[in-house]
Amino acid sequence: MVAKRRQTKEVAVGHVGVGGNNTISIQSMTNIPTKNVAGNVRQICELFEGGCEIVRLAITDLEDIKFFAEIKKILRARNIPVPMVADVHFSPAIALNCLEVADKVRINAGNFSDKLVGPQSFSDDEFLVGKNKLQKSLGKFLRKAKDLKKSVRIGINHGSLAPRMVYKFGHGDVAMWESAKECLEVAWEIKFENIILSFKASDVKKMIAANRLACSKLDEMEKNYPIHLGVTESGSGDYARIKSAIGMGCLLMDGIGDTLRVSLTEDPVREIEVARNILQGCGVRRYGIEFIACPSCGRTSYDIQSILGELRAHLEKQIGARNLKIAVMGCMVNGLGEAADADFAIIGSPNGTLSLYQNRNCVLKNVSREEICKNLTKICRLKLDGM
């Protein structure tokens, strides 16, 4: 059972509200240089059409900010309202200038002012010098964000923690939380609230532990910042999808998470479907017809795989993406019980015919697959019209 969602404050990213009572939003990031204006416009349009609700672009130098603004202008002229986030590493000056054009700026706390190469051990005084340098640079940035009413994501990446944080707190969830807290102290001092936090790692266990620790600490302090979820550098293919589903799924089931991005080493458009599947699989957001099906065994008397594919294609074409759950089960042994929370269940008979159940009540008994498809469409429409 999904835990009650952690109550967070709403932070505006363009026209999209993150946190509060808003649905958990889906993000992605373009994977081509920001200087490639036409390529970014094309990719963002594809992402938006696929269901991406917030998009991020890498800003590597001051010149990129000009191209970012041009991309945004073209998209708005095409009535593509997707909020655009500037992703900045290593340069407080670039981050500061991005606030003029971006709907949100994402910074990496580990490298905002610290260098990732150099000394690997630090005295207390040296640690404090590094902290003061970070907070001074960050203060200037956050004050401007506050003045412009822009939102900021403070990103904590396990793979790019400042060396002084690792030296003092170890290379795990405690260092990730302490890195975030250094930044938050600045925000608290200037009363800047438009903050989203993320705690990412390519190691699923570390990512989960860091988010749980951070949310526990924040709740103790009554600081209810929204949380952006992600398993970073997850790779490609099934393995990346499984890692992402485990990491984000565990936290979503805990009630943690207000927006997410699935990081795939693939066309970013593919990230959107995976994100939707994670949200729907966790029962926290519905996108349309959800099909559940048994894997089949020796008791199955019909081709369950082909009828599942046929029903999916037929119903999505006939009634579109609607909020229904349909079960396709092999036999009566466990089928009806395992399909108990489905709106409709198709169950096989020993003679190869099929029966259709609605809310556990049989509405068609021992009919052909053609009759099932035809009648299921009619019954689904009646149910949807009555909602």
The last residue of a domain, from among 281, 304, 319:
281
User: What is the biggest distance separating any 2 CA atoms in the chain, rounded to whole angstroms?
Assistant: 80
Does one domain contain both 224 and 79? yes
What CATH number corresponds to the domain at position 307? 3.30.413.10
Does one domain contain both 35 and 156? yes
Residue 96 in this model has a pLDDT that exceeds 80: yes
Tens of pLDDT, residue by residue over 319-375, are: 665 678 888 888 776 767 777 788 888 888 888 888 888 888 888 888 888 888 888
Does one domain contain both 110 and 252? yes
Radius of gyration of the chain (CA): 24
Tens of pLDDT, residue by residue over 43-87, are: 999 999 999 999 999 999 999 999 999 999 999 999 999 999 999
Strand ranges for the chain from DSSP E: 11-13, 16-18, 25-29, 54-59, 84-88, 104-108, 151-157, 195-200, 227-229, 259-261, 290-293, 325-329, 344-348, 354-358, 361-367
- Percent pLDDT > 70 in the chain is 97
Domain that holds residue 306: 290-385
Does one domain contain both 194 and 253? yes
Does one domain contain both 31 and 83? yes
What CATH number corresponds to the domain at position 184? 3.20.20.20
pTM of the model: 0.90
Taking residues 220-239, what's their average pLDDT? 94
